[in-house]
Amino acid sequence: MSHRFDNKVCLITDQQALGAASGIGRATAQKLCSLGAILALSDINGEGLSETIQLCGGGEKHLLSTFDVGLSEACNAFIKQAMERHGRIDHIFNCAGVNPTAYALEDTTDEYWDKLVNTNLKGTYNITRAAITHLKAGASIVNVSSILGVTASQNYAIYCATKFGIVGFTKAMALELGPRGIRMNAVAPGYIDTPTNSGVVEGPEGVKAMVAKVALGRLGTADEVADLVAFLFSDESRYINGSIVEINGGITRRSRAAGGQVASDNTGSESERQIIAIMNLANLPSMRSFYKVILASSRDYSDVPLQFAAHVLM
């Protein structure tokens, strides 16, 4: 990428890292710093913040602040501090978040709901609302959704609610801020090798299960998400607004049942399930193969009309 961020102020919420592993926020701070940015970094974990700033070469010019993004007063104070210190805010990466744990809904608690919703969703709202009046034309914001913000998965209802919520928030705010020349987009990472990814926490078996679903045959890295965020901040993405950019190496979420029948993991639309049922009932091998290609090539075919599939089968 040729774009540089010299003298641009980039604000990032999320700087923790455990051991040698890096989270997405830290990797993005390092990337932007290497491109000349002045940073305003926050995290609920002060130790992680200090480590990140050392990795960025230290320096007085960056601002660090430790607080919970779920608290609006703390977010207001951080934005005020950033304006007092740097005089401007050019780019915001709303990255602070809690990665999910698999729970049936009846096993979740008010505390779990509050933690995920207050961090993943309300934190993004708090920082954005506090910053809006200070942003000028050319500024941009990137939020973090997830693969679980664009497709559902059982036992992750609360995390999905927050990450689907980020998608709606991003698209609506892109319309609200666009006329002022300010862009908002979101990244939707798949399985990224960070210390709190639930599969990574689970260990080698968890990692193997994730990798098995990735067409590129490996987990993504925090650096690869950082490259995308830097691109979305840059002028090279100047016409991208309100987009949810998936970064997942190509994910297949469908399994194929024995006997050539197409099986669904129940995450598809009602029309998709009906189409699959018709294919199987009709027992037409060539049509099933055709539909498998569609399934394999795209996750976003929920608008395929049932009538069309029925017509093709006639």
Ligand X SMILES: NC(=O)c1ccc[n+]([C@@H]2O[C@H](COP(=O)([O-])OP(=O)(O)OC[C@H]3O[C@@H](n4cnc5c(N)ncnc54)[C@H](O)[C@@H]3O)[C@@H](O)[C@H]2O)c1
Catalytic residues: 159
Question: Which residue's CB is nearer to ligand X, number 135 or number 187?
Answer: 187
Instruction: Measure the CA–CA gap between 103 and 101, rounded to whole angstroms.
Output: 6
Contacting residue, 8, 9, 11, 23, with ligand X by CB under 6 A: 23
**Do 36 and 65 form a contact (C-beta atoms < 8 A)?**
no
By the 8 A CB rule, do 42 and 67 touch?
Answer: yes
- Let me know the angle formed at the C-alpha of 179 by 174 and 181, rounded to the nearest 5 degrees: 80
Q: Which is nearer to ligand X, 34 or 153 (CB)?
A: 153
Binding of residue 44 to ligand X (CB under 6 A): yes
CB of 162 to ligand X, least distance (A): 8
Residue with the two structure tokens 């290497």: 34
Among 34, 45, 153, 155, binds ligand X (CB under 6 A): 45
Contact flag: residue 244 with ligand X (CB under 6 A): no
Q: Which is nearer to ligand X, 25 or 268 (CB)?
A: 25
Residues with Cβ within 8 Å of 32's Cβ and at least 6 positions away in sequence, in order, are: 5, 10, 12, 39, 91, 226, 230, 233
Q: Which stretch binds ligand X (CB under 6 A): 77-85, 115-123, 133-141, 266-274?
A: 115-123
In the list 51, 55, 68, 155, the residue contacting ligand X (rule: CB under 6 A) is 68
By CB under 6 A, residue 143 contacts ligand X? no
Quickly count: other Cβ atoms within 10 Å of residue 191's Cβ: 23
Tell me if 144 contacts ligand X by CB under 6 A.
yes
**Applying CB under 6 A, does 151 fall inside the site for ligand X?**
no
Q: Which is nearer to ligand X, 24 or 276 (CB)?
A: 24
DSSP code of 82?
Answer: H
Among 10, 24, 29, 244, binds ligand X (CB under 6 A): 24
List the one residue out of 159, 312, 172 whose CA is nearest residue 244.
172
Asked if 28 touches ligand X (CB under 6 A), the answer is no
Say whether residue 95 binds ligand X (CB under 6 A): yes
197 lines the binding site for ligand X (CB under 6 A): yes
Contact (CB, 8 A) for 146 and 169:
no
Residue 214: DSSP 8-state: B
Q: How far is the CB of 190 from ligand X (least distance, A)?
A: 7
Of the candidates 77, 189, 179, the residue with the CA atom closest to the CA atom of residue 130: 77
Asked if residue 128 binds ligand X (CB under 6 A), the reply is no
Neighbours of 259 (CB within 10 A): 7
Residue ranges that bind ligand X, judged by CB under 6 A: 13-16, 23-25, 43-45, 48, 68-70, 95-99, 119-120, 123, 144, 146, 189, 191-192, 194-197
